[in-house]
Structure formats: structure tokens, C-alpha cells
Amino acid sequence: MLELKQQLTDHLPPVFAGTSLDALTGDAVRWRTVQNLRAQKKIPSECFMRHGARKVLIVRDPFLDWWLKEID
């Protein structure tokens, strides 16, 4: 898992638009699924930031920590 985390850390920007998640991860992680889990409060809030009223940004490091625990 550490190798996967390092590869994703090298590939993903520190903060990025949630809508770009599918493309950035090669559809391994789907934005639609993340939105559903976020609405159910199953993803820590520190994984996200808001930009304006509607745009949701993903904060890479806490998001990867959460996601890697989920798939382990």
C-alpha cells in the first residue's frame, strides 16, 4: 500500500476538483461514488474544501489516507 500511496501522491496534485477525480485516477475512484459516501458522512470532512458556492475540491493527502484504509 505504501508504494501505491507514493505513486498516487506523485501523480495527483495536492488539491484538485472533485469532478476531475475519475480522469485523474483512471476511473479507479469515481466522483459519483465519493459524492454518495460524502453525503452519508462516511468520508472525513478534512478530505474536502469548498471553492465558491458549488465547487468541491479534494485534499489529496487526507483523501488518500481514507481511501487506502477503505481498500485495505
**pLDDT tens-digit readout, 2-47:** 899 999 999 999 999 999 999 999 999 999 999 999 999 999 999 9
Asked if the model's pLDDT at residue 72 lies above 90, the reply is: no
Q: What is the DSSP letter of 68?
A: H
Report residue 58's pLDDT band, with 50, 70 and 90 as the boundaries: very high
The pTM for the full model equals 0.92
The domain locations on the chain are 2-71
Place of cell 484538485: 16
Supply the DSSP string of 8-56, one letter for each residue.
Answer: HHHHS-SEEEGGGHHHHTTTSS-HHHHHHHHHTT-S-GGGEEEETTTEE
